[in-house]
């Protein structure tokens, strides 16, 4: 791009007009400026809905004209670009790329997608949107549980948006990062001796305190058979020490000896010889994240306190007088109390009655039991803060316009669509999917090979660089040469550290070994020798034991079979339902291909 973001914004504005406004488009792939460079990414070509724009640029009667636009497929600047539309509901590029990325999880996230990939995935997105539209048209979005779930999500999303706003400038304290990092990676080099008797440990400790060296005291105690240990120390992490020993060493400086520490088997004297903090990028990143989390917590507390000071007036005297554990006026009486307990600027006050009703809902085992156990009064501040937060957090978020951002609206729209789609499945699709027991059994009989325990082998092997040496070794072993003797006396073997496969006598599933080796072992029995090559390494494989594949009983696999068949039928029913709904809604597809 020759002029940065301004050029891009102009391009996007033009593209939107071209795609949705009649009479503005010109024909062909060169209709728009060349500003939308692909930057080496897989490009997207967007054109008119069916009937498509002809190569001669002839528009269908009554249809608006459209121009071609090529855009980078995985560029977030184009993520809101429309690729399809169901009535007035737009399916954006981000949804398609998200589906493409999921479909390519086993490869690169940005793997190049072919036409089949994008067409099938886009069809599924359109089908899902059709079901969501039908869910709305049939009134599922008006169900109380749906309305509550959406309202709760709006509330939680606004809360998260406000948290992000309040902490966007927060940075981790470097000193805290270093302190956390050192605590995580610190290693101590320690030397210790263990005394079975407390008096011997105390006596040794007194000698060290009197000026004798720890090494001399430890050596003498071991020689006198009063203690064990005293070997050269090694660096260990605190987590690998006994908690009591780690706690004692934590207080030591290098060269200092601990007081006797009671441990299993006696009392230990420990000398801290040195401390080191090895470099560990992962631990440093975790320390930075932890320190940042702490600073964000502090920032949020400060921010929230400011909101309370700005918006809220609590009648502290009234709150203190409210005694929910007193027989008078009684809990039921307080639920009817209309006095304002909290006043929030621009909002309805929170009354004593509303506060009391909310308190009652907090105690699932009944308010009477809570009164008897003296739990209610100490819970007042916690609940009151929660009620205040529920009002002032979204209030401040709306004041800042966070509910008007594209990101927030997108999150809410995505959640609502997902919720309605799931509800539609539960109420209109899944109840009509029936599977009989006979069908499950028939499927099992037809696919027994897919529901079997694999064969297992216990294998040992010799690896050679020269295939001729490997072949000769197989012949010698089959003639009766001892495997261990051959291993110890044959030249040309691959060193253990260089082996591409490890065959050390362990039990291996046929599914967990290379396919070529599995094929080579087919039909083998205990005691057989086979030759297998893995690139430039050639292995003599000795079958120590073989456990044949066996069928899994129907009872063990019934549930997985049922899930598979039900899933397939649900998918089929979704497709059939969506195909019927296409005649009731205006479906447009703008994207024509993925590729250069």
Residue-range domain boundaries for the chain: 4-116, 187-276, 315-399, 452-551
Q: Look at residue 319 and tell me whether its pLDDT is greater than 60.
A: yes
**Which of 58-67, 530-539, 567-576 bottoms out in mean pLDDT, i.e. has the lowest?**
58-67
pLDDT above 90 covers what percent of the chain? Answer: 62
Confidence of residue 55 (pLDDT cuts 50, 70, 90): very low
Confidence of residue 65 (pLDDT cuts 50, 70, 90): low
pLDDT value for 143: 96
Q: Which residue has the higher pLDDT, 366 or 110?
A: 366
CA pseudo-torsion sign 199, 202, 207, 212: positive
pLDDT value for 282: 94
Q: What's the average model confidence in pLDDT over 343-368?
A: 88
Confidence of residue 21 (pLDDT cuts 50, 70, 90): very low
Q: Look at residue 27 and tell me whether its pLDDT is greater than 50.
A: no
Contact (Cβ atoms closer than 8 angstroms) between residue 524 and residue 530:
yes
pLDDT value for 566: 94
Q: What's the average model confidence in pLDDT over 483-511?
A: 89
Q: Which residue has the higher pLDDT, 27 or 504?
A: 504
CA gap 371, 516 in Å, rounded = 72
- pTM of the complete model: 0.68
CA gap 286, 177 in Å, rounded = 9
pLDDT in tens, 436-478: 999 999 999 999 888 888 889 999 999 999 999 999 999 999 9
Residues 6 or more apart whose CB falls under 8 angstroms from that of 205 comprise 257, 259, 260, 269
Q: Look at residue 533 and tell me whether its pLDDT is greater than 50.
A: yes
Contact (Cβ atoms closer than 8 angstroms) between residue 477 and residue 530:
no
Confidence of residue 374 (pLDDT cuts 50, 70, 90): confident
Contact (Cβ atoms closer than 8 angstroms) between residue 470 and residue 536:
no
Contact (Cβ atoms closer than 8 angstroms) between residue 540 and residue 531:
yes
Confidence of residue 331 (pLDDT cuts 50, 70, 90): confident
Q: Which residue has the higher pLDDT, 17 or 57?
A: 57
Q: Which residue has the higher pLDDT, 516 or 371?
A: 516
On average, the pLDDT of the chain sits at 84
Class of the domain covering 452-551: alpha beta
pLDDT in tens, 127-171: 999 999 999 999 999 999 999 999 999 999 999 999 999 999 999
The DSSP string of 432-461 is G----HHHHHHHHHHTGGGSEEPPEEEEEE
Q: What's the average model confidence in pLDDT over 338-347?
A: 95
pLDDT value for 410: 92
Same CATH topology for 187-276 and 452-551: the answer is yes
Q: Look at residue 237 and tell me whether its pLDDT is greater than 50.
A: yes
CA gap 314, 344 in Å, rounded = 9
25, 52, 82, 296 from 28: Cα distances, Å = 9, 12, 19, 52
Q: Look at residue 42 and tell me whether its pLDDT is greater than 80.
A: no
pLDDT value for 309: 95
pLDDT above 70 covers what percent of the chain? Answer: 86
Q: Specify which of 280-284, 363-367, 377-381 reaches the highest per-range mean pLDDT.
A: 280-284
Start-to-end C-alpha separation, the chain: 18
pLDDT value for 339: 95
Q: What CATH topology corresponds to 187-276?
A: Chitinase A; domain 3 (3.10.50)
**Which of 43-57, 182-196, 215-229 bottoms out in mean pLDDT, i.e. has the lowest?**
43-57
Q: Specify which of 50-59, 72-81, 539-548 reaches the highest per-range mean pLDDT.
A: 539-548
**Which of 103-117, 248-262, 339-353, 470-484 bottoms out in mean pLDDT, i.e. has the lowest?**
103-117
Q: Look at residue 45 and tell me whether its pLDDT is greater than 50.
A: no
CA gap 440, 445 in Å, rounded = 9
Confidence of residue 73 (pLDDT cuts 50, 70, 90): confident
Confidence of residue 117 (pLDDT cuts 50, 70, 90): low
- Report the run of H or E that residue 542 belongs to, with start and end: strand 537-547
Local structure of 465: helix, strand or coil? coil
Burial 373-402 (b: 16+ CB within 10 A, else e): eeebbeebeeebeebbeebbbbbbbeeeeb
184, 237, 245, 290 from 278: Cα distances, Å = 10, 11, 21, 19
User: Which residues on neighbouring strands pair with residue 350, listed in sequence order?
Assistant: 342
**Which of 102-116, 363-377, 454-468, 543-557 bottoms out in mean pLDDT, i.e. has the lowest?**
102-116
> Which residue, chain included where needed, has tokens 């203690």?
227
Q: Which residue has the higher pLDDT, 545 or 76?
A: 545
pLDDT value for 297: 96
pLDDT value for 421: 96
* Structure token pair of residue 170: 């927060």
Confidence of residue 497 (pLDDT cuts 50, 70, 90): confident
């Amino acid at each position: 791009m020759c002029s940065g973001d301004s050029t891009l914004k102009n391009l996007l504005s033009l593209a939107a007009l071209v795609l949705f406004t009649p009479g503005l488009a010109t024909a062909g792939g060169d209709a728009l400026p060349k500003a939308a460079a692909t930057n080496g990414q897989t490009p997207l070509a967007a054109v008119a809905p069916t009937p498509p724009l002809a190569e001669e640029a002839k528009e269908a009667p009554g249809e608006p004209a459209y121009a071609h636009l090529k855009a980078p497929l995985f560029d977030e600047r184009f993520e809101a670009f429309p690729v399809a539309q169901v009535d007035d509901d737009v399916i954006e590029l981000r949804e398609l790329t998200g589906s493409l990325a999921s479909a390519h999880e086993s490869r690169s996230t940005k793997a190049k997608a072919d036409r089949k990939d994008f067409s099938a995935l886009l069809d599924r997105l359109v089908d899902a949107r059709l079901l969501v539209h039908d869910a709305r048209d049939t009134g599922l979005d008006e169900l109380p549980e749906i309305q509550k779930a959406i309202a709760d999500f709006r509330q939680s999303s606004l809360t998260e948006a406000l948290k992000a706003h309040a902490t966007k400038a927060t940075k981790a304290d470097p000193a805290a990062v270093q302190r956390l990092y050192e605590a995580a990676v610190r290693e101590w080099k320690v030397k210790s001796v263990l005394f079975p008797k407390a008096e011997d440990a105390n006596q040794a400790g007194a000698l060290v305190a009197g000026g004798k060296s720890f090494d001399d005291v430890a050596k003498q105690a071991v020689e006198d058979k009063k203690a064990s240990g005293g070997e050269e120390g090694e660096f260990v992490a605190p987590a690998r020490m006994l908690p009591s020993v780690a706690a004692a060493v934590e207080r030591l400086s290098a060269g200092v000896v601990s007081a006797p520490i009671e441990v299993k088997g006696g009392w230990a004297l420990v000398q801290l010889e040195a401390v080191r903090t090895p470099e560990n990028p992962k631990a440093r990143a975790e320390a930075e994240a932890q320190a940042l989390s702490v600073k964000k917590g502090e920032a949020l507390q400060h921010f929230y306190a400011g909101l309370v000071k700005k918006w809220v007036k609590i009648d502290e005297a009234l709150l203190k007088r409210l005694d929910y554990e007193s027989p008078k006026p009684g809990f039921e009486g307080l639920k009817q109390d209309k006095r304002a307990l909290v006043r929030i600027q621009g909002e309805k006050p929170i009354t004593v009655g509303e506060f009391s009703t909310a308190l009652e809902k907090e105690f699932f085992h009944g308010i009477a039991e809570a009164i008897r156990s003296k739990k209610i009064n100490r819970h007042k501040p916690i609940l009151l803060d929660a009620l205040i937060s529920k009002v002032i957090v979204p209030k401040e978020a709306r004041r800042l316009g966070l509910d008007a951002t594209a990101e927030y609206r997108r999150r809410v729209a995505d959640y609502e669509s997902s919720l309605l789609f799931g509800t539609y499945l539960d109420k209109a699709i899944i109840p009509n999917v029936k599977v009989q027991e006979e069908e499950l059994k028939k499927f099992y009989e037809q696919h027994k090979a897919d529901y079997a325990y694999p064969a297992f082998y216990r294998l040992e092997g010799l690896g050679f660089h020269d295939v001729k040496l490997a072949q000769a070794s197989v012949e010698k072993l089959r003639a009766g040469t001892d495997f261990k003797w051959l291993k110890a006396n044959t030249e040309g073997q691959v060193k253990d550290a260089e082996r591409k496969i490890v065959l050390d006598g362990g039990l291996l599933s046929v599914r967990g070994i290379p396919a070529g080796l599995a094929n080579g072992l087919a039909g083998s029995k205990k005691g057989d020798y086979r030759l297998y090559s893995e690139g430039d390494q050639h292995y003599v494989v000795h079958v120590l034991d073989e456990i044949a594949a066996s069928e899994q009983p129907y009872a063990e696999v019934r549930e997985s079979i049922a899930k598979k068949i039900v899933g397939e039928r649900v998918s089929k029913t979704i497709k059939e339902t969506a195909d019927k709904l296409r005649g009731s809604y205006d479906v447009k597809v703008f994207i024509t291909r993925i590729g250069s």
